[in-house]
Amino acid sequence: MSVPDRTDTKNHVKSVLKAFTILEELDLAGELSIGDLSRRLSMDKATVHRLVSTLKYAGYVSQNRESKKYSNSFKLLAMGNRVMEKTGIKRIARPYLEELSKLTGETVNLGIKAGDRIIYIDKIESKSTIKVGLDIGTSLPMHCTGIGKAYLPFMPEEEMEEVLNNTVYEKFTRHSIEDKDALRSVLAETRERGYSIDDEEYVIGLICFGAPIFDYHGNPIAAISVSCPKYRYIESKHQKLYSNYILDAASKISRQMGYSL
């Protein structure tokens, strides 16, 4: 990405535009150094350093103490969440998440794509004594989560391949997918049946089912998942039951977002 070329800059402050470009690049990449940002944005290092320092001071950027690299802060996530609560997917999906949690008795999550990763933006926790799930604001790779694997196969082919090529196939457990060819095969199966399965690929002892949410153009804009401890899971009973529940919930949310089959 490079800094946008503005032909009419009379009413724009160039440094503000550059600062937002930095935030957008960090959103796409996750974590970058001053040098990384300078190269990717074709921007002078001194300028990048000044802008990043200002963004850090204002609380919009944070710095990893070990790597010294920068990433967007939770302040931006909190602002985004407030927007979604008022007008977007989070507000619309909430009653369907609550219904899905009641039907399954398990933890239900809502996530959106951010760059090549998934960010969890809402959840309904199970009322069981032993709970499973991720905190709101958690960011994870797409290849090892029910939400990520539900989202990926319904993206435009070119965009999906870009994510597959950019993914670092970290093995969180012995069940994690190790390369893009294996992931591509799994995603083809997911596309065929309409829902994803994460069987202990991120956390041992946890199985998740995911389904995509579409906008009025038919593009995925989010996904939901049901997370269940393996000791409570009976495949012959729960796979069909949970997949039907989650597909129904995702379909209802998609219709609310303007999608029609």
Residues near 103 by Cβ (< 8 Å), separated by ≥ 6? 245
Structure confidence by residue, pLDDT tens digits, 9-29: 444 578 899 999 999 898 888
Structural element, H or E, at residue 137? none
Chain mean position to CA 158: 18
- pLDDT reading at 231 higher than 90: no
pLDDT for 114 equals: 85
How many helical (H) and strand (E) elements, i.e. helices and strands, does the chain have?
9, 8
**Higher pLDDT, residue 111 or 231:** 111
If you count them, how many residues does the chain have?
261
pTM value is 0.68
Q: Where are the domains of the chain?
A: 14-72, 77-256
pLDDT for 85 equals: 55
Q: Is 197:186 a contact under the CB 8 Å cutoff?
A: no
Chain mean position to CA 79: 16
Query: How far apart are the C-alpha atoms of 95 and 83, rounded to whole Å?
Result: 18
Alpha helices in 173-260 (DSSP H): 180-193, 235-256
Structure tokens at 155: 């993206």
Q: Which fold has domain 77-256?
A: Beta-Lactamase (3.30.450)
- pLDDT reading at 180 higher than 70: yes
With 0-12 CB in 10 A as exposed, 13-18 as middle and 19+ as buried, what is 28? middle
Closest residue by Cα to residue 106 from 222, 242, 203: 242
Instruction: Map residue 143 onto helix, strand or coil.
Output: helix
Query: How far apart are the C-alpha atoms of 109 and 206, rounded to whole Å?
Result: 14
Query: How far apart are the C-alpha atoms of 171 and 132, rounded to whole Å?
Result: 20
Kindly state the average pLDDT of the residues 244-258: 94
Mean pLDDT of the chain: 87
pLDDT for 7 equals: 43
Would you tell me how many other CB atoms lie within 10 Å of the CB of residue 258? 11
3-state SS of 40-56? HHCCCHHHHHHHHHHHH
- pLDDT reading at 103 higher than 70: yes
Residues near 89 by Cβ (< 8 Å), separated by ≥ 6? 110, 112, 121, 213, 221, 222, 253, 257
Kindly state the average pLDDT of the residues 110-129: 87
**Higher pLDDT, residue 186 or 134:** 186
Is 1.10.10.10 the CATH classification of the domain at 14-72? yes
pLDDT for 135 equals: 81
pLDDT for 208 equals: 94
